[in-house]
Structure 1
Amino acid sequence: MKSAKHSLSRWLLTSVTAIGFIASAPALALDSIKMLVPANPGGGWDQTGRALQAAIQQGGEVKKVQIDNKGGAAGTIGLAQFVNSAKGDGSALLVGGSVMVGGIALNKSPVNLSQVTPIARLTGEYDVLVVPASSPIKSVKDLVAQFKANPGSVSWGGGSAGGTDHIIVAMIAQATGVDVSKINYIPFAGGGEAQAAIMGGHVTVGLSGYNEFAGQIEAKKLRPIAVTSAKRLPGIDVPTLKEQGVDVELANWRAVFAAPGINDQQKKDLMAVVDKAVRSKTWQDALAKNGWSDAYLPGDAFKTYLDSEIANTEKIINGLGLAKK
């Protein structure tokens, strides 16, 4: 009898352990995921999407993650495609972030982020301002002097209109007493295009995440003159805008969304896949390599944050007079 009780206890323990293991795993294994990156290859969204792709596939939960790039209009072209084609698709993901929030507000886009399903905020990244190595501009002081003397003579190259880069330029103008309407901002759909324009001297100053310019900075072909963080970034000896007398600070966050109209189980499955991916060594290595801050915020908490960000961004864009009439 004692032996039977002992065997029963062992069976119950084994069963409970197995049940616990099953409960902790995704309820539905996904064979594949289609990830839409609403920007051209080479930029921050593309880098984020491909890093997440690698982390998901390394985790083994999903055998194949296919990426499709669809750039333009601060991500709203890709967003519209996603909203119209992926409804109810539990295997579809969309990369996006603060640039898209700004683009929607600036352009009064007919599609917006209320039409998709927030899965998780992933990363945060501050901008760096760079000039060609041959530029006479050596510091933010030089840049501001030229900007104030002749606003139109300073061309700013960055991401899509209404995005983080554009908002930063508008905030710099406001902080230095320059008329926002006189900003000469040139948007690019991808990081590769922006870098080529800066290197070719077609724009005065460029803005983007540090990693997009890191190679050219290290090669001494581009000169970093400021970062948009509150304090200097670890391992990057570049002064902030604030310490150079321009009271501007802003970060660019990136996130992942699911399709409209998915059910609760599909959402849980995708959240579980992303959660496992961001805890992987592959993802942590990508954060370190790219200089991204870990800003992971899943599910409902991200939805609350997103609603707040949308309201704040609309306030900034409307306050600076950037929105289309």
Structure 2
Amino acid sequence: MYRRRFLALALGVMAAGGCGRAGDSGAASAGRLTIVAPAGRGQGWDRTARALAAVLRGEGLARAVEVSNYPGNVGVAALSAFTAARGAFAREGRLLLTGMPMVAGAEIANADSVTEATTPLARLVGDWAALVVPAHSLLRSFEDFAAVLRRNPAEMMVGGRLEGGSDHVLYGMIGRCLGVDVRLLDYAGYSGGAEAAEALYEGRVAAILGSARSFMPDIAAGRVRPLVVSSAERIEGIDAPTLMEREVRLEYTDWCGLLGPRGMSAGDREEALALCDRIDASPRWQAVCAANGWNRVYLSGDDFRQWLVTETRRTRGVLNELGLMRSIATSCWGSCAGRH
């Protein structure tokens, strides 16, 4: 069992432990598994789902695995179609890939929360964020950035992926921690990281938030300068402090996890949790994570459920302050660790 701090606001970092079932090599393989990906084939979460399916097959953790796609509405359609349990998990299991966009999407749609509509199983991986500016920017440090926000939150346009997604929510959380009026933050949402970067280079935004690893080539080439990263510790290859170092008590990762259908029996839930533990302990999965730059942030069972309840509450509060609860279209937000 290990513990990992994850996504904390000014109240402090919430610690949560993983489960102790991992490594049970004697556990029986599952029967037929369906992984539901809330994305079109080849897009976002679908890539993560298919990587996961390949690991399940390669490790012999299931006799057959398929991926079922439900694109659109940041996973709300997939969530609605997934709610009811169907038969024994050991014979025909179903898993839903999830992340922060689905949590936010359910809140914005005024639907049942993820924790109410499913059986939370495990958080698997995450993607740290970075705040970057053009190399020639007058914002030389995060302190400069924070000073502008505190003086006038609406003075500076910050970009990232689409409104209500991970980057926007993180910007709201940073604003909260800096004590500014989040309602006044000026944010420009784009369909992807490439479009946000183009806006940065053309001077349409002063800074952008996004996947830290996706910025590494431009950082190395000297085209952008990182001001801060959202991880607990500094990231190799990015010469920038963490938010915590700059007295912003916030740690944030764009996470991906697995859910089971609502109404799972205790036995089915234990079978599913044991499978999640074996996935995280799998050398194949660890190699896939390393190859894709995904950070393993494993948390399972009751610990994950409690963390998800708290995280949903925090996300709802930020979305409300940003004025997004009833105002935005949610058909094409990005996804968690599947981004490249």
**TM tier, shorter chain?**
0.7 to 0.9
* Contact map agreement 1:226 1:239 (CA 8 A) in 2: yes
Residue 54 of structure 2 is aligned to residue 57 of structure 1: no
Which residue of structure 2 lines up, in the alignment, with residue 295 of structure 1?
Answer: 297
Which residue of structure 2 lines up, in the alignment, with residue 285 of structure 1?
Answer: 287
1:257 CA displacement = 1.2
3-state DSSP of counterpart to 1:79: helix
Summarize the alignment of residues 1-325 of structure 1 with structure 2, pairs less than 5 Å apart: 24-26=27-29, 28-30=30-32, 32-38=33-39, 45=45, 48-60=48-60, 61-66=62-67, 68=69, 70-72=71-73, 75=74, 78-84=75-81, 87-89=84-86, 90-105=92-107, 107=108, 109-113=110-114, 114-148=116-150, 150-188=152-190, 190-234=192-236, 236-244=238-246, 247-252=248-253, 253-263=255-265, 266-315=268-317, 320=321, 322=323, 324=325
3-state DSSP of counterpart to 1:29: strand
* Contact map agreement 1:83 1:260 (CA 8 A) in 2: no
Q: Is the deviation greater in 121-130 or in 161-170? A: 161-170
Which residue of structure 1 lines up, in the alignment, with residue 11 of structure 2?
Answer: none
Q: Give the TM-score of the pair, scaled to structure 2.
A: 0.70
Residues 194/54 of structure 1: CA separation in 2 closer, same or farther (3 Å cut): farther
1:240 CA displacement = 2.0
How many Å separate the matches in 2 of 1:84 and 1:206?
Answer: 35
* Contact map agreement 2:243 2:250 (CA 8 A) in 1: yes
How many Å separate the matches in 1 of 2:144 and 2:324?
Answer: 29
How many Å separate the matches in 1 of 2:112 and 2:99?
Answer: 15
* Contact map agreement 1:33 1:62 (CA 8 A) in 2: no
3-state DSSP of counterpart to 1:70: coil
Residues 206/276 of structure 1: CA separation in 2 closer, same or farther (3 Å cut): same
Which residue of structure 1 lines up, in the alignment, with residue 13 of structure 2?
Answer: none
* Contact map agreement 1:154 1:204 (CA 8 A) in 2: yes
- Which protein has the bigger helix share? 1
3-state DSSP of counterpart to 1:57: helix
Higher relative contact order (CA 8 A, sep 6+): 2
How many Å separate the matches in 2 of 1:139 and 1:93?
Answer: 43
1:183 CA displacement = 0.9
How many Å separate the matches in 1 of 2:36 and 2:125?
Answer: 17
* Contact map agreement 1:38 1:95 (CA 8 A) in 2: no
Q: Give the TM-score of the pair, scaled to structure 1.
A: 0.73
* Contact map agreement 1:80 1:111 (CA 8 A) in 2: no
Taking only aligned residues, the RMSD between alpha carbons, in angstroms, comes to: 3.6
How many Å separate the matches in 2 of 1:230 and 1:84?
Answer: 36
1:62 CA displacement = 4.6
> Which letter maps to 1:286?
V
1:281 CA displacement = 1.8
Residues 81/102 of structure 1: CA separation in 2 closer, same or farther (3 Å cut): closer
> Which letter maps to 2:59?
G
Number of matched residues?
295
Q: Percent identity?
A: 32
Runs of 5+ unmatched residues, structure 2: 1-23, 87-91, 327-340
> Which letter maps to 1:52?
L
